[in-house]
């Protein structure tokens, strides 16, 4: 099975995908596809239905100070290969359309990325805290987050 960037690019062109900015080689995966965040929802459908990437392994976010990056690691069970989707987001208000309707496994991964990195996923069905208690007011994996002295870190512990 061919699994190189040219193959992915050809399949994307055949499927009529829009919003693809670049298809780059990436070690360990068929390609890394950079895309514009506005066309996320349509592109997710193309990757699942036309290219056969039926499984979403993980969603993550990176704070690059001048921009945010969100990436998706997809796995195709039919062709046994990975592909990485990657989008650059605005540094002020990073947000992108949710992948939950396409891949249900995106639900918790996007909750984690929102909570730790601060990327907001639009139309997410259940964007609640995952690892931190409700009411936690920081996004601790952002570069601007400073480690607190224990006395400064006031976390409201809710009794349930």
Partner 1 sequence: MSAVAPAAPLPAAPKPGPVVGPGGELPVVTNDVTFVEIETLRSREFLPAAKEALSAMLKEQGESKLIRPVFNWAGRNSLFPLHWGLACCAIEFAAAFGARWDAERFGVVPRSSPRQCDLLIVNGTVTWKVAHKLIALYEQMPEPKWVIAMGNCATGGGPFRTAYSVVPGVDKLVPVDVYIAGCPPRPEALLDGILRLEALIRERGE
Question: b/e map of 102-119 (b: 16 or more CB within 10 Å)?
Answer: bbeebbebbbbbbbbbbb
Paired sense of beta strands 55-63 and 95-97, if any: unpaired
Asked if residue 159 binds partner 1 (CB under 8 A), the reply is: yes
Q: Does 28 bind partner 1 (CB under 8 A)?
A: no
127 binds partner 1 (CB under 8 A): no
Angle at 109 between CA 107 and CA 111, to 5 degrees: 70
Shortest Cβ 138–partner 1 spacing (Å): 6
Rounded CA separation 135/128 (Å): 10
> Is residue 62 involved in binding partner 1 (CB under 8 A)?
no
**Cα separation, 41 vs 62, whole angstroms:** 20
DSSP 37: G
**Smallest distance from partner 1 to CB 133, Å:** 5
Q: Judged by CB under 8 A, which of 76, 87, 131, 144 binds partner 1? A: 131
Q: Does 133 bind partner 1 (CB under 8 A)?
A: yes
> Could you tell me the smallest distance in angstroms from the CB atom of residue 110 to partner 1?
18
Note the residues at the interface with partner 1 (CB under 8 A): 131-133, 136, 138, 140, 145, 147-150, 153, 155, 157-160
């Amino acid at each position: 099975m061919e699994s190189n960037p040219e193959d992915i690019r050809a399949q994307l062109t055949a499927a009529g995908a829009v919003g693809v900015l670049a298809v780059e080689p990436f070690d360990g995966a068929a390609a890394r596809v950079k895309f514009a965040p506005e066309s996320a929802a349509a592109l997710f459908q193309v990757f699942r239905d036309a290219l056969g990437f039926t499984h979403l392994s993980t969603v993550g976010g990176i704070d690059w100070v001048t921009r945010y990056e969100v990436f998706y690691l997809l796995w195709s069970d039919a062709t046994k290969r990975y592909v990485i989707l990657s989008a650059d987001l605005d540094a002020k208000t990073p947000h992108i359309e949710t992948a939950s309707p396409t891949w249900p496994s995106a639900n918790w991964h996007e909750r984690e990325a929102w909570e730790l990195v601060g990327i907001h996923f639009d139309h997410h069905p259940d964007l609640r805290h995952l690892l931190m208690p409700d009411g936690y007011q920081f996004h601790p994996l952002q570069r601007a987050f400073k480690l607190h002295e224990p006395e400064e870190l006031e976390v409201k512990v809710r009794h349930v």
